[in-house]
Amino acid sequence: MTTGILFDIKRYAIHDGPGIRTTVFMKGCPLACPWCHNPEGIEPVPLLTYNQSRCIRCGACVENCPQQALRLTAEGVVSTGVPCTLCFTCTEVCPSGAREKVGRQLTASQLVNEIRKDAPFYDTSTGGVTFSGGEPLMQAEFLLEVLEFCGHENLHRAVDTTGHANPEDLMAVAERTDLFLYDLKMMDPDKHKKYTGLSNHLILENLKCLAGNGADIIIRIPLIAGVNDDVKNLEQTGSFLKLLAGVNKVHLLPYHDFQKSKYHRLGMPYGSGILKAPDRQQLARVRKQLESFGLQVAIGG
């Protein structure tokens, strides 16, 4: 049995597909979008987070670190300069939860046991499970196995994808998926590369292919003021989607910066300077423009 690596499982997810759902956040993503809400999901390996405000300076991590990589200061625990080997001993001995391991390994059947826990809620609400990330297709083999197991139990399966994936993998996933939540960030390949690190060529091709195969798809657009809310991008988006058979639902996800503190805990820089949340008027304008292409547009998931 294959194992996968996750960074979270959220229950009572009510904005990730129909009904009451459990959303499984899988680690690893080929893109590096500066507005990412889940920066802990980008790296495909476990990460160490340190939340200074929870630290009580008890020194347990310093005493127990096999590398002697930590030392205690008035501001909290800092590196001695010796590199961390990510053995996570410190997270086990930390009483306050200031040091935490983000990312855990599970087998497919262990994960299905977790997903099954909320089955009574899926039954009442025609909900199910959503695989998100990160990019779930980064762990295609594991994802396929879990989807297969969920299928045996008639659980509704949604996959939230960036679309940047091996086309064969994606088609195999599509056979075991009831609904795609497909992220479409922007249409201009150069701009896409500038913001996310990769061109959108594969993403658009994959989307065409999926739609051609008759997959059930909801398009999700993270809307960031000044980045992808311009008339031109929306025009291109609308025209592209209009040509895809069976694709007519769009969810706009307005950017917010609630995740700022996450970056801090991960010791990652946060590029919030260039990012702005769209205001209500901008949202209304975007919605109207996309609706003019005959699309059904909703704000939020």
Contacts to another protein by CB under 8 A:
10-14, 19-20, 56, 58, 60, 95-97, 117-118, 120-121, 123-125, 300
Between 21 and 192, name the residue whose CB sits nearer to another protein: 21
Q: Tokens at residue 228, please?
A: 């992808």
Between 44 and 301, name the residue whose CB sits nearer to another protein: 301
Q: In the complex, what is the shortest distance from the CB of residue 233 to another protein, in angstroms, rounded to a whole number?
A: 27
Q: In the complex, what is the shortest distance from the CB of residue 300 to another protein, in angstroms, rounded to a whole number?
A: 8
Q: In the complex, what is the shortest distance from the CB of residue 259 to another protein, in angstroms, rounded to a whole number?
A: 11
Q: In the complex, what is the shortest distance from the CB of residue 183 to another protein, in angstroms, rounded to a whole number?
A: 19
Between 121 and 240, name the residue whose CB sits nearer to another protein: 121
Q: In the complex, what is the shortest distance from the CB of residue 301 to another protein, in angstroms, rounded to a whole number?
A: 10
Between 51 and 166, name the residue whose CB sits nearer to another protein: 51
Between 40 and 145, name the residue whose CB sits nearer to another protein: 40
